[in-house]
Structure 1
Amino acid sequence: MIPNATQKAISVDEVRQEFPVLHQKVNGRDLVYFDNAATTQKPASVIKALAEYYEGYNANIHRGIHTLAEKATRAYEDTREAAQQFINAKHVEEIIFTRGVTEGINLVASSYGRAFVKAGDEIIVSELEHHSNIVPWQFVCEEKGAHLRVIPVSDEGVLDIEAYKKLLTPRTKIVSVNHASNSLGTINPVKEIIRLAHEAGAVVLIDGAQASAHLEIDVQDLDCDFYVVSSHKMYGPTGTGFLYGKKQLLEAMPPYQGGGEMIKEVTFAKTTYNELPYKFEAGTPNIGDVVALRSAMEFINRLGKENMAAHEHELLEYATARISAVKGVRLVGTAPRKVSVVSFVIDKIHPFDIGQMLDTRGIAVRTGHHCTQPLMDRLGIEGTVRASFAVYNTKKEIDSLVEGLERVVGFMK
């Protein structure tokens, strides 16, 4: 996201004070945490919210009438309302809590896919997808006799929209793509992808795992049918997130799991199901982490996504220039529109070795295929080193990374 004149500069020093985990030494050096695309660190407000739940009003929700249960229920449902506002959903009951993006995609694949996809139908994904946005659709295709079609990607990491247009046919039932690539940072033209899919009569799921902390999300403006978000990618706890689905689609879908909460009435002869959103929330949920997720969204709203994106874009440009200047480094993924992710390889040095050597200097990066093996195969590489930036990162930390890379290259001569 490119900054504009209306944005306000963020005091990174002040922001860093909100993150306890950043103030430590790893292998004798100040921690440099550049693995944010895997999971972001948590501000004190999120940690406090989680602790306050367990210390003050831990109780099961919805069915209890005692004071703690009612307080826990209110806090849980407050997060649902915050999520509705965070992505501008039309109805609060369009927000379904899940364990994260992976479960959200599996829910849609298992429920909508198995109910509405038939033999000979087609599902479209892209070469940029995380495994969690490939494998669930393969399950559906194998079970239903449907076919998986793939939008190709250029050497720069940009989706081929002209090829996508040709893939769309009356047989296309579902299109499922990410908003931003976890491996390369590419921001996809999802609004155009959605429009074209709808013209072909297909529904669209957008994987928002890498977008939720970086990009403005307005599901009504996008007109997507489903959108999935993970808490831990946006400064919230692990093990929770949410699925947005258009109300009429969610109402038409069968339940994902059976058990408590998702039922209205059970007899041995027949079970009737609860109304939205509870129809898709079987069992005792991850209450504490859902409650704390609200604090993560409040943290983002307080700083302002545009302001955060401006800072991250500045880091992205600085890192791209500095890392690409290191002898032997080749950037992987050079799309013109990216979130703050830099992937690269170094001649004759395995990414795993680079990651280990950087770790000895207290620098945390991700190495490997990043759960995007088909993309790595397309690019003809085993994997990359990925440095991904968040609002609390600095140019000084990038300088430390570059110094580390220069030492790695020198050591391997």
Structure 2
Amino acid sequence: MQRTPKAEEAILLARSAEEVRDYLRQRAAGASLFDPIGQDAEAALLARRERLIDLSLAEYCLHRETARELFERGSDDWPLRALVLSNQALAKSQILGRFPLCLFEDEDALLSYLETISPDDQWVLFSNPALDESFLEGFLSMDQTWEAIDSEQRLWVLDALAGNAKLQKIRSTQDHEDGWGWYMAGKPFEAAWLLIEKLEPGTETARHLAKLLRDLPADSYKTDGIAEALVRWRAIGEDALADETNRNAEGRLSDFQEVRQAAARLLAGRHDAKPRLFIDSDDVALRCGAYEAASKLDEETLEAAVKLDGDLARLHLIRNEGLWRSEKSRDLLLDVVLRGSEGDEPRWEYRRRERHYRKEYPTWFEGEEYLEPDERPISESSIADVVASVTGDPAIKGIQRRLDAVEDRQRSVVWLAALCLIMLAVLVWRT
């Protein structure tokens, strides 16, 4: 029989601090608009003034009144404030005043806080995947929340958002109750991509923007002005261009190239895109974007990409999700792309991607045993190519010619010996 809310509350208030923490953690894991104990129970727990309970409420409370009291109390208590800012359950229990607005009296109070936000608070807040979509969209659209934060600190916010799980997961209709929720979940992605148009290019800006865009899903319908904006995201000056050349030789892109590569990944992956235009580009950054996004890449294209761009091509082809969907394309990825790499980064990226896709899409790998790339046999589809490449090697041909010469000499000796035996036999017969 299920307990009544009052009975549940009475039992909770009689528990030890350790037991209260376990209860609050379990309740937060299933947080929703329905709370089995209510805000009064959280207020009663706060009144106990026990450190472990206060820290646990900061991390797992479901009511804005509790969170606000702890947040204000924690102005000189960094652990307490940090736990409130990282609370992911609070957002699930609020109908109005989504996180982080629910921590403040109104929007003006939120803006005042952002004007003086500390770097530590800033990092924890913008790393929280429970941030409301409207808040995220507004900030990335450079609204009042963007303007409230110091101009240099805004760029560090982009770094925090780059590690935020909310901006790394591809939105799915299965994660939303209706189409409106799905639509709103895409607004932050759209706003993030449009920063390519809105931000003024610069060395520091390119570094932070490149980090934000690196793993951002290519999810935006508003792309009309992005292609035109790419011409502005280029290194300027002999030293910068020389550094870019050196990075490319090492299998890396510069920050400016990373921005262009990300944009090409977005544009080349559209349903109406023509990836060949990017693959044939003179700009290595645009080519790398297409390597990562193009939906169809045949063996000839893969070989040409690796021949032209080496480990840069390998790295971005390995990141192409489409090449992981079937065993045939994975064979190409392993045999054509990965084998022959002289650097470690493509191999590490291959391992990381394979583990990720095996976990997220196990049906793609049904019936396949997991082996490290170097332990796998060469696939049947590439054996003929390997044999051809080995037999066509100049050194191998030279050895073959020597063996043929030895064989010819041996054949001559055999014939000479046979002739001598015949002549000896004739002499014996005559005598």
Relative to its length, the structure with more strand (as a share) is 1
Interval containing the TM-score (normalised by the shorter chain): under 0.3
Taking structure 1 as the reference length, the TM-score comes to 0.23
- Of Structure 1 and Structure 2, the greater helix share is in 2
The structure with the larger Rg is 2
Q: TM-score under structure 2 normalisation?
A: 0.22
